[in-house]
Amino acid sequence: MSIDRSNPPLVRVGDLQKYFWENDSVLDRLFGNEPVPVRAVDGVSVDIYAGETLGLVGESGCGKSTMGETLLRLQEPTDGRVEFDGRNVYELSGDELTAFRRDAQVVFQDPFSSLDPRMTIGETIRQPLDVHDVGTETERDERVADLIERVGLSASHLDRYPHEFSGGQRQRIGIARALALEPEFIVLDEPTSALDVSVQAQVLNLLDDLQDEFDLTYLLISHDLSVVRHVCDRVAVMYLGEIVEVGPVDELFADPNHPYTQALLESVPRASTTERKRDRETLTGDVPSPRDPPSGCRFRTRCPMVIPPEHMDIDQEVYRDLMSLRERIERRDLSLESVGDGKFESGDDGVPTADVPAFVAALKTRLLETELPPRHDEIVEDALTELADENWERAAERLRENYESVCERDHPALGDGTHPAACHLDRDTSAQPGELDD
């Protein structure tokens, strides 16, 4: 299908936020506990054009499904704006909101739980028609019979219940239900993840055929990059509640701009026998908590290309080790009493002066996995010496003034253009880490 991007997008998402609040019960408020937001979706902006399929990819827990639900107003947003055909979805009410519900539908991830086991398949598909009072009784029956056949099943199945169908058949039923009101836009939330591989291809081909037949626009949420590459026109990559890269599917897969996208693509198994022995550089470290995301670039805690301070020539592994050390000191995530198996007794004035060199050596061995060049070794020893007197702030400041990165200081924005990436390296693709100006 030809995509016309000269017209305004069908769906325009602007700075969308969805937070879930913790410590917000009556008892929490009574005892003065501050509410803690889980930033599931945090400032997402993206356009979806009529007739296209936009893929939304990322690791589990990055906020993909929450974004889809909030976009459809199945959940109310914390902030931001979603426009559908030029209208702000969050300002709609009454008949206008009902009309939006007809125009925007969803196919849920799990075909086993998304169908009511007490309703026949015919009743399930017909329910949206009944709720919106579409057509006469006869017209509704005819519409249901036509839809069940359009998705590859038989009208003779309409009196059966969900437990009588396989996973692929149930997902077809869910698709038929989503099509009942002739929508313009459908959110496909991992529509094939619960299905066998052989059935996945059938469902994807069905969705592709239906898109051409009904002039549909899709938001396809998936963690399966092979599925996305097969069916999508453009891809948006999501990490920790934010969109970090958007681009045409072929261009993004061939030349990803963001280190996170590169890592995702690197982790995909290859079928070619020539690549059996290739070294795959998978992501290390845990995904940070959406309750307390990192400053600056949220991917920096796992990024293999963090930008060192200007003109600093330092190995990436060593630099990341030093960043981790400073962050632990800033969080005071260290037990000084256990250094050297507790043989350094700290009094009111800290570790005795005579024991400080041994204390620093023991602490350095415990905290650093890499051997430091002399210049950096001296800076680290100065910082750890401050910890002998429990001067946490001065120790962190000593490391900060030498090793603070633009990646942690400035939040990279997703720029304009056909293939933007929210990465400081994307400002000048010819630059290498350590050569960018602060």
Helix then strand then coil, % of the chain, to nearest 5: 40, 15, 40
| Across 202-217, average pLDDT | 91
Q: What are the helix and strand counts (H, E) for the chain?
A: 15, 10
Selecting from 2.30.40.10, 3.40.50.300, 3.30.450.20, 1.10.10.60, what CATH number does the domain 11-266 have?
3.40.50.300
Between CA 298 and CA 267, with CA 194 as vertex, the angle to 5 degrees is 40
Q: Of 276 and 207, which is predicted with more confidence?
A: 207
Alpha carbon distances (Å) from 323 to 54, 328, 380: 36, 9, 11
* Nearest Cα to Cα of residue 410 among 423, 420, 419: 423
| Across 315-325, average pLDDT | 88
Paired sense of beta strands 36-48 and 87-88, if any = unpaired
Long-range contacts of range 84-87, CB-CB < 8 Å, 24 or more positions apart?
A: 84/10, 84/11, 84/185, 85/10, 85/184, 86/8
The predicted pLDDT at position 428 comes to 43
Paired sense of beta strands 217-221 and 79-84, if any = unpaired
Chain segment 55-112, per-residue pLDDT in tens: 999 998 899 999 999 999 999 999 999 999 999 999 999 999 999 999 999 999 888 8
Q: Of 379 and 198, which is predicted with more confidence?
A: 379
Chain segment 400-413, per-residue pLDDT in tens: 999 999 999 999 99
Residue in this structure with the two tokens 């400080």, named with its chain if needed: 356
User: What is the Cα–Cα distance from 324 to 314, expressed in whole angstroms?
Assistant: 15
Q: DSSP string of 187-223? A: EEESTTTTS-HHHHHHHHHHHHHHHHHHT-EEEEE-S
Res. 431: pLDDT tops 60: no
| Across 142-169, average pLDDT | 93
- What tokens does 322 get? 């030093």
pLDDT band at 433 (very low <50, low <70, confident <90, very high): very low
Domain boundaries, the chain: 11-266, 316-404
The predicted pLDDT at position 99 comes to 94
Residue in this structure with the two tokens 């501050």, named with its chain if needed: 34
* Nearest Cα to Cα of residue 383 among 368, 371, 370: 368
For residue 45, the SS3 value is strand
For 81, residues 6+ apart whose C-beta sits below 8 A from its C-beta are 12, 13, 14, 15, 16, 88, 90
Axis-axis angle for helices 137-150, 121-131 (nearest 10): 130
Res. 149: pLDDT tops 60: yes
User: What is the Cα–Cα distance from 32 to 416, expressed in whole angstroms?
Assistant: 43
- Which amino acid type is present at position 276? R
Res. 331: pLDDT tops 50: yes
* Nearest Cα to Cα of residue 194 among 233, 157, 224: 224
The predicted pLDDT at position 2 comes to 61
